[in-house]
Amino acid sequence: MKGKCYIMFEQYDNFKTTPPYYNGDRLLNMLDLQAARPEIYISTSNRSAGKTTFFNGFAVHDFITNGNKFVLLYRNKYETENASESFFKEIGTIFFHGLSMIQETLVKNVCYRLLIGETVDIDDPDDAFCGTCCGYVISLSAAEQIKRCSHLMSDATKIIFDEFQSEKGTYLKNEISLLMSIHDSLARGNGEQAKYLPLYLIGNLIDIYNPYYESLGITQRLTPDCNYMRGNGWVLEQGFNAAASEAHEKSAFHRAFASESYTSTSKAKEYLIKDSQFIDKNIPNRGLYIATIHFNSVDYAIRYIEEYNIYYISTKIDPSKKIKFAATENDICANTSFFRKHTLKDRLREVLHGGQLWFDCRKSQTAGLAFIYGRA
């Protein structure tokens, strides 16, 4: 049952999206690979398609309509300091004119609560803002502290993580584990050990090798022509908004930088960091020979090339080197070792995200990624 405050806000609720702006209803109504309700919804597309506007508006609308509170999740603590303004400024103008949002500290440097209320007249000293808690603000980097104060947010019903793909490839150490810790902490409470707490991952097309896609097994499955995908517990939308693309093409600023790869991600269904970007057959095969990997009956070399500060996987192997890994279980044969987890895999995954893993050809790239992930 809604409280009086939610009913009072209904007059300001004009949440509705119409073409050409993004609408996430189809994604929200999808079932996962097991025909069950997913708990992770991933929305990606070209830039300026309206994903953030939709999901932010959806969260506030759901609060006003049903009293369902939400959590805004960021990667770093500094991003949380003015979250209420960045979150509500646009949607307040578009969908909720007459309402304002502020944030106040719940636990210093750990979490905030969001307050929504009627906009006040700043020139009237007697018109004080009276807000109602509609959600919370936290960061992945505060995961350890959040464990100890998660009870303060036990009434949250959803988590929104916008810009989950980093343009710089800068992710926190063990970021997926931090996310899981936060989700588990917030999913406890209100008399439940593990309540349904959906996570919405929203982002532009940045890097198909991001840790979220890797962990969910999306990287190897996703193709440019894929629009929707299902997995165990998750669903994904890889969209393209033609109106946003056309607007960027008409922009004089974007025409000026038309040759930049950054521009192409707004005009096409194209990732900013392309898999072909790190293929170069002309890199010299010299440096520290680390190991050989065996994939699909072919051997590949892993080297560290100090002069370029990169790791390089190529077809130029050194038969005298005895350390040989099977890329996947299917590649196990005589004189190979297979490990699901290994420090070399961890290191290669780290440099992959940092743009320091290169290959001499597409086959070497496929072999290297199969070794890192343990599957083809």
Q: What is the pLDDT of residue 249?
A: 63
Look up tokens 């890889």; give the residue: 238
Burial of 234 (0-12, 13-18, 19+ CB in 10 A): buried
Residues near 288 by beta carbon (within 8 Å), at least 6 away in sequence: 303, 304, 305, 306
Provide the whole-model pTM: 0.75
List, as one string, the DSSP characters of 250-315.
Answer: H-HHHHHTTTSHHHHHHHSS--SB-GGGGB-TTS---SEEEEEEEETTEEEEEEEETTTTEEEEES
- Would you give the distance in Å from CA 277 to the centre of its chain? 21
The one-digit pLDDT tens for each residue of the chain (376 residues) are 344 446 679 999 999 988 888 999 999 999 999 999 999 999 998 766 789 999 999 999 999 999 999 999 999 999 999 999 999 999 999 999 999 999 999 999 999 999 999 998 777 776 778 899 999 999 999 999 999 999 999 999 999 999 999 887 778 888 999 999 999 999 986 666 789 999 999 999 888 878 899 889 898 788 888 999 999 999 999 987 554 455 556 567 666 776 555 455 555 556 766 666 788 999 999 999 999 999 989 999 999 999 999 999 999 999 999 999 999 998 999 999 999 889 999 999 889 888 899 999 988 988 998 898 876 5
Q: What is the pLDDT of residue 273?
A: 61
Question: Which candidate, 325, 301, 334, 333, places its Cα nearest to that of 374?
Answer: 325
Q: What is the pLDDT of residue 246?
A: 59
Cα 34 to Cα 42: distance, rounded to the nearest angstrom: 17
Q: Report the SS3 class of residue 217.
A: coil
Q: Report the SS3 class of residue 187.
A: coil
Cα 80 to Cα 49: distance, rounded to the nearest angstrom: 24
Residue 249 DSSP code: H
Domain boundaries, the chain: 4-267, 276-373
Q: What is the pLDDT of residue 193?
A: 73
Cα 45 to Cα 4: distance, rounded to the nearest angstrom: 38
Q: What is the pLDDT of residue 370?
A: 87
Q: What is the pLDDT of residue 4?
A: 42
Cα 316 to Cα 297: distance, rounded to the nearest angstrom: 15
Q: Provide Rg for the chain, Cα atoms.
A: 24
CATH of domain 4-267: 3.40.50.300
Residues near 177 by beta carbon (within 8 Å), at least 6 away in sequence: none
